[in-house]
C-alpha cells in the first residue's frame, strides 16, 4: 500500500510538524481540500513549512501578523509542481479544519484528513497538482475506505461563511473525473 499502518504516504517527502495530536477515536472518514500560500499568491516560499513547524517569523511579512501564536497544520501540502510534503501522519489528528461541521457532526479534525494545495481561492491550480491530488486521494481511499467520493469536500463546505478554500478556481469536475475515471497513467502506479 502507498500509505503504511502509521499513516505515512510513501510518495511524500516528510517534514517536521508539532501541531497535531492523537485522534480521539482513530476514525478517518472525511477528506478536506484546502489551499494556502504565504504570503498570499506567492509560491515556493519556506513560510508554509515554518508555519506548520511552529517557527514562522511573523515579522517576515506584514500579512503574517495575524498568524502570531497560531497553531495549525495539515496532513499534506501539494506544491505547484505536484510534489507532496507530509507534515502529519494520516493516523494522527492535524489541526486544519478549525470550527467545522460535516453531516451534522462537529470537530472535523477528529475524523478527517486535510490536504493543502499551494494556491489561492482565485488562482488556477496546476495540472501537476491535480495529478498528485488524484493519486494521493486514491491512496487515501484505499487505506481508509470510509472515505468515499461523497466524503471528499472543500474547507468551504465544512466551514461555510468562515472559509472559502479551495475556492472558485478549483475544478471539482476535473478532479473527480481524474480521480475516479482510471484514465490517468500516473494514477495506475498506486
Residue 189 known to be catalytic: no
CB 139 within 8 A of CB 59: no
Listed in sequence order, the DSSP H helices in the chain are 47-53, 127-143, 155-158, 172-181
State how far the Cα of 181 lies from the Cα of 173, in Å rounded to an integer: 11
Q: What is the β-pairing status of strands 92-94 and 13-14?
A: unpaired
Q: Between the CA of residue 7 and those of 2, 39, 135, what are the distances in Å? A: 9, 30, 16
Closest C-alpha to 163, from 35, 69, 59, 40:
35
Q: Which of 5, 40, 116, 189 is catalytic?
A: 116
β partners of residue 14: 86
Catalytic residues: 116
Amino acid at each position: 500500500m502507498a500509505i503504511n499502518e502509521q499513516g505515512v504516504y510513501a510518495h511524500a517527502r516528510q517534514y517536521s510538524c508539532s501541531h497535531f495530536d492523537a485522534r480521539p477515536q482513530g476514525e478517518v472518514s472525511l477528506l478536506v481540500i484546502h489551499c494556502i500560500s504565504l504570503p498570499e499568491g506567492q509560491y515556493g516560499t519556506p513560510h508554509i513549512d515554518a508555519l506548520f513547524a511552529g517557527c514562522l517569523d511573523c515579522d517576515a511579512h506584514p500579512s503574517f501578523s495575524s498568524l502570531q501564536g497560531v497553531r495549525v497544520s495539515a496532513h499534506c501540502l501539494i506544491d505547484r509542481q505536484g510534489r507532496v510534503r507530509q507534515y502529519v501522519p494520516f493516523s494522527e489528528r492535524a489541526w486544519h479544519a478549525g470550527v467545522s461541521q460535516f453531516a451534522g457532526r462537529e470537530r472535523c479534525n477528529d475524523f478527517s484528513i486535510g490536504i493543502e494545495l499551494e494556491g489561492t481561492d482565485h488562482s488556477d491550480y496546476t495540472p501537476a497538482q491535480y495529478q498528485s491530488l488524484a493519486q494521493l486521494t486514491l491512496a487515501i481511499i484505499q487505506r481508509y475506505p470510509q472515505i468515499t467520493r461523497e466524503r471528499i469536500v472543500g474547507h468551504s463546505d465544512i466551514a461555510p461563511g468562515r472559509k472559502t478554500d479551495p475556492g472558485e478556481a478549483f475544478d471539482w469536475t476535473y478532479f473527480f473525473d481524474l480521480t475516479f475515471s482510471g484514465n490517468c497513467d500516473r494514477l495506475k502506479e498506486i
